[in-house]
Amino acid sequence: MSALDEFCRMQSLPRPNLSLASKLENYFDDFHNYLKQSVILNRDVIQLERACNQTLQVIEKFDFNINLVSQLTQTDQLSTTSNNIPNRTSELHQKVEQLQHQIKSEITQLRQQANYWIVEFMQRMQTETITQLDKSSLDEIRCHFPFFLTEKLRQAVYECMNIHQPIIIDKLQKLETSILSDLYNLTEITLTGAI
């Protein structure tokens, strides 16, 4: 790859080495495509991290609301009608903590599964590709192998994400629905008891 050659090509200037111009252009195009795909992959990872963080923020907000409802039950306004509400809020609080641990455990299991897949992929690469390198010239290996290896590894990581992302999103949505339902039920009990 040659930055000078690419600059000259983009500016329509004479190319420094005409005999390699076509190869250098292809290498730079491959590199450019790799960078674009890396940006897309990073965007997907960031979106998944944001979804996880937003769900954890929702859980923390619910936890705060549960504590707030618990404190309200201790005030004079609700103290006569809310004998069982502290038990309900503590049950809900425990359930939220349990669900947090459960989702973290499931994500850890998915991470371990992805790690296993990548290790398996790298072992396959070693047996199927790296052992065959002696059949190619050193110049061919220098020119093509880094891009080939990077692209194959990127594809493997992307496949892991394609499999795990819907699973994680589904689990987070179910968790959110469960917590919202429990919080709604607690709010209904609190409001009914206050009236």
pLDDT of residue 78: 47
Would the pTM count as exceeding 0.75? no
Better-predicted residue by pLDDT, 156 or 54: 156
Query: What φ, ψ does residue 14 adopt, rounded to 5°?
Result: -60, 135
The CA-atom distances, in angstroms, between 1 and each of 19, 102, 138, 140, 141 are: 14, 48, 16, 13, 14
Residue 183 lies in a domain: yes
Residue 31 lies in a domain: no
Over the stretch 127-186, which tens digit does the pLDDT of each residue have? 887 777 788 887 887 777 778 878 887 888 888 888 888 888 888 788 778 877 877 776
Q: Which domain holds residue 138?
A: 38-194
Domain count within the chain: 1
Nearest Cα neighbor of 189 from 72, 25, 96, 107 is: 72
When pLDDT is averaged across residues 89-118 and rounded to a whole number, the result is 79
Residue 27 lies in a domain: no
Residue 74 lies in a domain: yes
Residue 4 lies in a domain: no
The CA-atom distances, in angstroms, between 84 and each of 80, 156, 190 are: 11, 53, 10
Residue 132 lies in a domain: yes
